[in-house]
Chain A
Amino acid sequence: MKKSFLIQFSVLILLIIFANLGMRSIETFDDDELGNAGGIRIDLTGNETVFESSPKDLPPREGGTLVLAESAEPEHLNTYTSTSAAATRVLDYIYETLLDYDYETWRYDRPLLAESFSISDDGYTFTFKIRENVYWHDGQQLTADDVLFSIKAVLNPFVDCAPMRSSFSKVVSASTNGQYEFIISSSETYFRNQEILGGFHIIPKHIWDPKGLLDRYSVEDLLNPSVTREEAAIKEFADAFNTHPQGRPVGEDAEPIIGSGPWLFDKWITGDYISYARNDNYWNDDPTYIDGYSEDGAYLDKVIVKVISDATARLTALKASEIDFIPRMRAVQYFTQTNTPDFLEKFQKVSYVVPAYSYIGWNNDKPYFSDKRVRQAMTMLIDRDSYNKYVAYGLGIPTIGPFYIYGEQYNHNIERWPYDPIRAVELIEEAGWIDHDGDGIRDKDGVPFNFTFSVSAGSTSSKYMALMLKEDLRKVGIVVNIRQLEWSVYVENLRDRQFDVVSLLWIGGLESDPYQIWHSDNIGDRGSNYMGFRHAEADSLIETARFELDKKKRNAMYFRLQEIFHEEQPYTFMFYQRDPGAYLKEFHGVKWIPIRPGYKLYSWWRNTSMAGEAS
C-alpha cells in the first residue's frame, strides 16, 4: 500500500514537471504592441473595403480542402425557420439572393440572381429582372416562379418563421410577369426595403412544393386571414414546409440541399461536421466583380465545417493540423498561446472587425434601474478601459451607441461616459438610493439595492465582467448576485424580460434600423426591446427615420437618437468586436470584409505546392 502511494506521488510529480517543461512565461505587452501579437490587425475604415491578408503574387488555382472549426451547430437548416447565426453561415453558401452587397461600396445594390432591378417613382414597387442562365444544383432552371414561391412561403402565416416574416409585414402584393420578371410592392417606402425585398434566399419550388399547393393562392390571399383560415391547403403546405427533409439533411444518405450557389451541400453529420463541395456547373461565369470574390465560382474542392464547441479543443486541433482555420478564438489564446515562432511560421493570425457590439443591459423596468441617473452611474462604475486592456486584450473598440462604428450612422461627436466612481456614487445618492436602515446596503422605498446579473454559462468574458462588478459594487453598498444560466434558459428569460441585468452581444449590419430594438412598440410580447426603453422623442425619431429616404436627413435623426441613448443609458454600450482568428498559411486569396462573418470562402484557394515543399 505504501509503495503504491509512493508510485502515485512520483508519477504526479513527473507529470507536473513534464507539463511545465513545455511552458513559457507569459509575454508582457506594451500598449502599442498589444494589438498584434504576431498577427495582422484589420480595421476596414475609410476607403479600404476589402483586405487581403495572404500574399497576392500567385494566380489562384483550383483544388484542395479547407477544414474550419465553428463553436456551434445549426439547430436545423431550413433557411426561413432557423434563427441561429450558425445556420445562416451554412446556408449563405448554398442559397442566393436577388441582390447582394457591392464589394466596393458595401451598398446593397449589386444584382445577383437578378440581372437588373428598378424601383417605381413613388418608391413602393420593386421590379426585378431575373437572369436567364441560372440553374439549380439539380439542373432545373431558376425562374421568377421560384422567387414568387419563396416569398409566398415566407408570407404563409403557418410557416414557422415569424421573426423573418415581421420584416416583410408591409408587403402588399407580389407577382411574376413572364418567366423572368418579378414584381413586389410594399405599402411603405421603408429605407431598408431594397435590402429586405432583394435579400431573402430563393428556394426551389419544385423541391419544396412538388404538388403545387401554393399555386392557387396569390400573395394577397396569403395576407388575408379569412382566406388562410378557410383554405386547408395553405396549412398543409406549411406543415410540410416546417418539417421538410431539405431542412434537416442529416446523415450519410440524406438528400442534399438544392440551392443555386457556388457550393453544393455535401453532408451533415450531427455533432461532427457539415461539408460542401464546389459546384462545377455554377451558372455565373461573369467575372466582372472584384477579382477573387468570384461569384464565377469557388476554388476549393471542398469545405468542411467542423463543430468543436470547446475553445481549447479548437486551438489544439489547429495546432495538430486537424483543422486549417479558426474564425474565432479566445483573446487569451490569440495573445498568449499562439506566440511561438513555430505557430507564427505555420499560421497567419488575423483580428478583424465585425458589426457586432457587446453591452450590459439594465432592465429599465426594475426599480433599481428605472432612473437614468442610476444607469449613468452604473456606466461610470464600470472601468471599461481596464476591462478592454486586461480582459479583452485590447480587442474591443469602445462605442457609445448601437450603430456600426465605421458606418455612416455612427455619431462620433459624442464623448463616452468616463470611469468615475465618485461621481457615480453621487448620482446614485441623488436618485435616492441611500442606506436608510444602516445595514450596509443602499435602499430606496424599502427596496434594497440587490440585483441579479445573469450570465450565460459558456461566456467567460461576461462571467469576469460580473465578478468584477460584484466586487466593485459591494464597496459602494450594492449587492450583485451572479446567476449562470444555460443559453436556452438565458434567451427564454430575456424574451420574457425576467432578468435584472444581462451581458450580451447584438449582431447588426453596416446600416441598421433601430426600430426592432429601441422602439417602445417592441417592449413585451417577446419583442426585442428587452430592456424596456421608452422615450417619446426617440420613438418619433425612429418612426420618421424609417421612411426618410434621404440618407443625410435620416442620419441626422440617428445622430440625435444616439444623443438620447447616451443620456438615457438603457444599455452600457461596451465594445464593437474584433474577432481574432488564425489560418494555415498555405491558403491564399484570404480576404476580409466588413459584413459578417467577416470573410467569404469563395476567394480562398490552397497553395498545395507549398505543402509539398514543407513536407
Chain B
Amino acid sequence: MSEMAPARTYSQIVGSQFRKNKLAVLSLHVIYVLLFVFIFADFLANDKPIVMRYQGSTYFPVFREYGVNWFGLNWQDAFKSQQFKILEEKYGEGDWAIYPVIPYSSTEYNLEVKLQPPSRAHIFGTDELGRDVLSQMIHGARVSLLVGFVAVAIYVFIGVILGALAGFYGGVIDIVIQRMIEIMITFPRMFLIITIVAVMETQSIINIMIILGLTGWTGVARFTRGEFLKVKNEDYVVAAKALGYRDFRTIFRHVLPNTLTPVLVTATFGVAAAILIESGLSFLGFGAPPEQATWGSLLSSARDTLPTGWWLTTFPGLAIFITVTVYNLVGEGLRDALDPRLKQ
C-alpha cells in the first residue's frame, strides 16, 4: 500500500504519527485553549467593560487600557477613576455596557465577600481579600506560560550554541564546555535559583525568566553535543568542509537543522518544568511581585487558610497539574512520532 501513496514529506510523516496518539492530540488542544487564555486574558476577566455606551458615545475601555499602558494614551475624563461599576449608577437612557465573562480584575478586592466558596457570582470562589479566584487564575496563566516559554527559549538558545561548539570542534573547547556543564549540574537547581532570587533587589517575573534560562541550559547543551557528534562525520558535513565553507556556516546551516528537532522536543518538557518551578517559587514567596496573580501564589495563600478554603488549593492545583501534564504529553507524543524505530 505504501508504494501506492504519493511520497510524503518528513513533517507529514511525523504529523500522521503524532495524530495516532489520541492523548497527545487532546493535550495539544488543551494547549491551544491555554494560548487563547494567554492572549485574551484581559477580555475574559476584567473589571472594565469591553464595549460600553455612555452619554451618547461608544467606548472600548479594555482596548483603551492597552493604549494607556503601552501607547501613552490617557483615560477619558469620565473614566479617570476607572470605576466602571460605580459609573453604572449614573447610567441614563440608552447607556449600557458589555462586561467580560468574569467581570472582576485580578486585583479588585471586596472584603465583604472574602473566602467565599464557589458560587454563581464567583465561580471558583474568592480569596482572603475577596478577590475572584478565577480571574486571578486567568491572569496567572499568563505568568505561567510566559515564564515557561521565555525561560526555555533562553536556555535552548544558550544550550544549543554551547552544545554545537562542543560537539563540532571537540578537543579543548569540548572539555571546557563539558566541565562548565558539570559545574552547573552539581548545584541543586532549586537552591541555586532561590539563592539568586534572594539577593535580587526587586521582584519581577523577568528576573525569574532570566534565572531559569541561565540555569537550565545544561541538558540541552549535552543533547545537542551528542547529536553533533553523531552527524559531524556524515558525508554532507564532510562535503561542506571540503567546499571550504566557514565553520559558522557549516554549523548553523548544515549541521544544526538536522539536529534541532529532537532538541526542540526536549524543550517541550522544559516548558512544563519551568512552569512547575515558577509555581514553586511563587509558593515560597520568591517569585512574582505580590500584586501579580500567579498560580503558585494562589496556592501559597491557600496554605494560610487551610483546612478551610478548599477552592483555593483545588483549582490552582488542578491548573498547574493539567498544564504541566499536557506539555509533557505533547512532548512524549512528539518524541514518539520522531523516533524512527517506532515508525511502522
Contacts and interface: CB of A to CB of B under 8 A. Distances in A.
Contacts of B308: 23-26, 336-337
Contact of A477 (B80, B198, B304, B318): B80
Contact of B202 (A12, A19, A463, A483): A483
A316 to B, nearest CB: 10
A543 to B, nearest CB: 40
B203 interface: yes
B170 interface: no
A455 B285 CA distance: 12
A484 interface: yes
Contacts of A337: 305-308
A105 interface: no
A435 B75 CA distance: 12
Nearest to B111: A390
B76 to A, nearest CB: 10
Interface string A3-28: 00100110010001001101111100
Interface in A455-481: 455, 457, 460, 463-464, 466-468, 470-471, 474-477
Contacts of B72: 439
B174 interface: no
Contacts of A435: 80
A101 B131 CA distance: 47
A475 B332 contact: no
B106 to A, nearest CB: 10
Contact of B107 (A312, A463, A467, A477): A467
A258 to B, nearest CB: 38
A1 B313 CA distance: 27
A391 interface: yes
A23 B80 CA distance: 44
Given A466-B290, A468-B109, A23 B285 contact: no
B314 A8 contact: no
Contact of B291 (A12, A25, A467): A467
A337 B329 CA distance: 39
B128 to A, nearest CB: 7
B107 A332 contact: no
Nearest to B79: A440
A16 B314 contact: yes
A1 B335 CA distance: 12
A476 B109 contact: no
Contacts of A390: 111-112, 114, 130
Contacts of B81: 475-477
Contact of B74 (A439, A460, A484): A439
Q: How large is the interface on B (under 10, 10 to 19, 20 to 34, 35 or more residues)?
A: 35 or more
B115 interface: yes
Interface residues of A, number: 47
Interface in B81-127: 81-83, 107-109, 111-112, 114-115, 117
B309 interface: yes
A470 B305 contact: no
Interface string B311-330: 00110011001000100010
A19 B314 CA distance: 9
B68 interface: yes
Interface string B175-219: 000000000000000000000001000110000000000000000
Contacts of B23: 1-2, 5
A22 B307 contact: yes
Contacts of B304: 311-312, 330, 332, 460
Contacts of B239: none
Contacts of A486: 198
B82 A467 contact: no
B19 interface: no
Nearest to B86: A475
Interface in A273-326: 311-312
B143 to A, nearest CB: 16
B310 interface: yes
Interface in A65-96: none
B306 A312 contact: yes
Nearest to B81: A475
B15 interface: no
Contacts of A466: 290
Interface string B30-64: 00000000000000000000000000000000000
A312 B130 CA distance: 21
A484 B321 contact: no
B238 interface: no
A470 B291 CA distance: 9
Contacts of A251: none
A391 B129 contact: yes
A482 interface: yes
A461 to B, nearest CB: 10
A336 B305 contact: yes
A311 B313 CA distance: 18
A470 B83 contact: no
Interface string B133-162: 000000000000000000000000000000
Contacts, number: 100
A341 interface: no
A482 B74 contact: no
Q: Is the interface of B mostly helix, strand, loop or mixed?
A: loop
The CB with the most chain A CB atoms within 10 A, among B83, B303, B304, is that of: B304
Interface string A383-399: 00011011100000000
A470 B292 CA distance: 12
Nearest to A472: B109
A24 B117 contact: no
Given A19-B310, A440-B74, A484 B109 contact: no
A170 to B, nearest CB: 42
B313 A19 contact: yes
Contacts of B318: 12, 16
A46 interface: no
Nearest to B116: A26
A440 B128 contact: no
Nearest to B333: A1
A475 B83 contact: yes
B291 A482 contact: yes
A438 interface: yes
B25 to A, nearest CB: 12
B325 A5 contact: yes
Contacts of A457: 285
Contacts of A330: 304
A468 B110 CA distance: 9
B203 A467 contact: no
Given A312-B304, A471-B107, A484 B290 contact: yes
Given A337-B307, A438-B74, A5 B129 contact: no
A482 B289 contact: yes
A8 B329 CA distance: 13
A204 to B, nearest CB: 41
Contacts of B306: 312, 337
A500 B277 CA distance: 32
Contacts of B290: 455, 463, 466-467, 482, 484
B72 to A, nearest CB: 8
Nearest to B130: A390
A312 B283 CA distance: 14
Contacts of A16: 314, 317-318
Interface of B: 23, 68, 72, 74-75, 80-83, 107-109, 111-112, 114-115, 117, 128-130, 198, 202-203, 285, 289-291, 303-310, 313-314, 317-318, 321, 325, 329, 332
Interface of A: 1-2, 5, 8-9, 12, 16, 19-20, 22-26, 311-312, 330, 332, 336-337, 386-387, 389-391, 435, 438-440, 455, 457, 460, 463-464, 466-468, 470-471, 474-477, 482-484, 486
19 contacts: A1-B23, A16-B318, A20-B314, A24-B307, A26-B309, A332-B305, A336-B308, A337-B305, A390-B130, A391-B111, A391-B129, A439-B72, A460-B304, A468-B129, A470-B107, A475-B81, A475-B83, A477-B80, A484-B285
Q: Nearest 10 A-B pairs (CB), nearest first? A: A390-B111, A475-B81, A26-B308, A20-B310, A23-B307, A23-B310, A482-B290, A336-B308, A386-B111, A471-B107
